Amino acid sequence: MDFGWTREQDAFRQEVRKFIADNVTDAVIEEMDEGYVPSSGGQKRGARGPFATALRNKIDAKGWLGISWPKEYGGAGKDRLTQYIVEEEFSRVGMNVGGGGGAAPAIMAAGTEEQKSSYIPKLIKGEITFASGFTEPSGGADLASLQCRAVEDGDFFVVNGQKIFTSAAHNATHIYLLCRTDPDAPKHRGISILLFPMDTPGITVRPLWTIQNDPPAPPGTTYGTRRTNETFFEDVRVPKSALLGEKNMGWYVNAMRLNLDRVGAGRYLISVRRDEDIVNYSKGHTFNGYSIKEDEAMRDRIADLWTDAQVCRLMTMRSMSIVEHGGDFTYEGSAEKVWAPEHGVKSTEAIVQMLGPYAQLLNGSPNAVERGLYAHNLMGAFQSGINHGSTQIMRDQVARRGLGMPRG
Ligand SMILES: Cc1cc2nc3c(=O)[nH]c(=O)nc-3n(C[C@H](O)[C@H](O)[C@H](O)COP(=O)(O)OP(=O)(O)OC[C@H]3O[C@@H](n4cnc5c(N)ncnc54)[C@H](O)[C@@H]3O)c2cc1C
């Protein structure tokens, strides 16, 4: 087995890297980190700032947006390893480029021709975005027990209910909503997926602030989010054309989506960026004559983290390769979703401990190191073990689907 890249792949990586060095300027990163609010006031759905827009247009001209998606849906039709290279390089600067994002794999697999051709090209280009409406106040771990109802009324579904932790609901253009369409069926068999615009009448979005909000996490924080939401649906009328896949079969389409969502370089690279911080700090910092890089215990710890990260890189590449070859993809995404948040906690904890007590201070404190970046990253790493499916539930999936163990 050859773990190396081909000469063409290496040359392509260099091209992407050079493009990033030339074009991803501090101004773009600052605009993305701070979040863009248009001067017309309010937070426009799907709004993107002028620097990020210009950059995205340049990336599009290169054909790197949705690089592995079929040409007829706006992609470039390349293989997944080419996508991996683009994702990996852009993840280093905190950008998500290369995949189709969240809802796209499910639409591609289960959508009608009209849904595919109207949503996929816009998703690839970032012209539309989907909030994910899964979790309800009764609990996200047992997702199949969701109660948000969609009742048929002529050519429409009428939606009533509440979702919680709908992270992007305040600025996404659309929502991908899991709702119950048959309350009498066994719980996994009465769920459907509806895709519709967030400005449909009857939707109310209320902010739900996280641990990263007070004080606000500084720019550059790579884990967690400052805001998520509660979203309420009151007699929301959605045309039947919004149904994704078959009625009552949404659980199965969504399971496939979540599995694919968890694949890719981005999740592993968030951690690698933090590990690179550690290496850079350990090389450059001495305190009262103490040098991190001379401390054997610290050297061992850094080497452990780095090795751990390389294992995950191989796991993510293996997953991409399975998807590329149309293989059966069962537990791999869940395994990555266990590894990445746990590695994130280990590596952010390590850097906070290396830098000493001041690194524990949060943004706003006069003595905070780098505006509290490392302490905020540590708090966010804990968040990442909950969102997108908690670590405990992921472990359960690895046990059952990967190891063939019985349901607990
Ligand atoms: C920052 C953030 C962003 C999020 N974004 C979104 C989003 O955009 N859209 C969305 O729909 N959801 C989102 N979520 C919700 C997330 O998916 C849920 O929080 C997660 O699935 C856990 O659900 P819960 O919080 O209701 O915990 P619960 O389901 O109440 O579970 C509580 C705890 O018990 C554990 N547990 C429960 N059942 C079992 C079991 N059978 N075996 C072992 N352990 C178990 C869980 O792991 C968890 O630790 C987000 C969450 C966070 C924190």
List the one residue out of 134, 116, 132 whose CA is nearest residue 124: 116
Q: Work out the mean pLDDT of the chain and round it to a whole number.
A: 87
> What are the residue ranges of CATH 1.20.140.10 in the chain?
262-402
Q: Structure tokens of 208?
A: 């739900």
Task: Report CA torsion sign: 147, 153, 155, 159.
Answer: negative
Residue of higher predicted confidence among 115 and 279: 115
Going by CA atoms, what residue is nearest to atom 13 of ligand 1? Answer: 165
Domain 7-99 in this protein, CATH class: mainly alpha
Most confident of 22-36, 185-199, 250-264, 272-286: 185-199
Distance 383 CA to ligand 1 centre (A): 10
Q: Each residue of 372-384: pLDDT tens digit?
A: 988 999 998 888 8
Give the whole-angstrom CA distance, residue 250 versus residue 242: 12
- Looking at ligand 1, which atom is closest to the CA of residue 169? 8
Distance 159 CA to ligand 1 centre (A): 23
193: left (phi over 0), alpha (psi -120 to 50) or beta: beta
Distance 210 CA to ligand 1 centre (A): 14
Going by CA atoms, what residue is nearest to atom 49 of ligand 1? Answer: 390
Distance 115 CA to ligand 1 centre (A): 29
Distance 353 CA to ligand 1 centre (A): 28
pLDDT at 14: 97
Specify the amino acid at residue 150.
A
> What are the residue ranges of CATH 2.40.110.10 in the chain?
130-247
Specify the amino acid at residue 69.
W
- Looking at ligand 1, which atom is closest to the CA of residue 132? 9
pLDDT at 176: 97
Give the whole-angstrom CA distance, residue 365 versus residue 368: 5
pLDDT at 41: 43
Give the whole-angstrom CA distance, residue 14 versus residue 34: 29
> What's the maximum distance between 2 C-alpha atoms anywhere in the chain?
77
Going by CA atoms, what residue is nearest to atom 33 of ligand 1? Answer: 141
Question: Where is average pLDDT lowest: 200-214, 217-231, 279-293, 299-313?
Answer: 279-293
Q: Structure tokens of 282?
A: 């350990």
Going by CA atoms, what residue is nearest to atom 22 of ligand 1? Answer: 140
Residue among 257, 388, 395, 398 to mutate when testing ligand 1 (max atoms within 8 A of CB): 388
* CATH topology (fold) of 130-247: Butyryl-CoA Dehydrogenase, subunit A; domain 2 (2.40.110)
Flag whether pLDDT at 25 surpasses 70.
yes
Q: What is the mean pLDDT of residues 114-123?
A: 94
- Looking at ligand 1, which atom is closest to the CA of residue 133? 11
Percent of the chain exceeding pLDDT 90 equals: 43
Pocket of ligand 1 (CB under 6 A): 132-135, 139-141, 165-167, 210, 225, 228, 383, 386-390, 392-393, 396
Q: What is the 3-state secondary structure (H, E, C) of the chain?
A: CCCCCCHHHHHHHHHHHHHHHHHCCHHHHHHHHHCCCCCCCCCCCCCCCHHHHHHHHHHHHHCCCCCCCCHHHCCCCCCHHHHHHHHHHHHCCCCCCCCCCCCHHHHHHHCCHHHHHHHHHHHHHCCCCEEEECCCCCCCCCHHHCCCEEEEECCEEEEEEEEECCCCCCCCCEEEEEEECCCCCCHHHCEEEEEEECCCCCEEEEEEECCCCCCCCCCCCCCCCCEEEEEEEEEEEEEHHHEECCCCEHHHHHHHHHHHHCCCHHHHHHHHHHHHHHHHHHHHCEECCEEHHHCHHHHHHHHHHHHHHHHHHHHHHHHHHHHHCCCCCCCHHHHHHHHHHHHHHHHHHHHHHHHCHHHHCCCCCCCCHHHHHHHHHHHHHHHHCCCCCCHHHHHHHHHHHHCCCCCC
Specify the amino acid at residue 322.
I
Cβ atoms within 10 Å, residue 281: 18
Give the whole-angstrom CA distance, residue 201 versus residue 205: 12
- Looking at ligand 1, which atom is closest to the CA of residue 395? 43
Distance 334 CA to ligand 1 centre (A): 14
Q: How far is CA 403 from the centre of its chain?
A: 26
> What are the residue ranges of CATH 1.10.540.10 in the chain?
7-99
Distance 137 CA to ligand 1 centre (A): 10
- Looking at ligand 1, which atom is closest to the CA of residue 389? 21
Going by CA atoms, what residue is nearest to atom 52 of ligand 1? Answer: 387
Give the whole-angstrom CA distance, residue 135 versus residue 143: 7
Q: What is the mean pLDDT of residues 298-312?
A: 87
- Looking at ligand 1, which atom is closest to the CA of residue 167? 8
Q: Does domain 262-402 have CATH number 1.20.140.10?
A: yes
Q: How confident is the model at residue 48 (pLDDT cuts 50, 70, 90)?
A: low
- Looking at ligand 1, which atom is closest to the CA of residue 168? 8
pLDDT at 375: 92
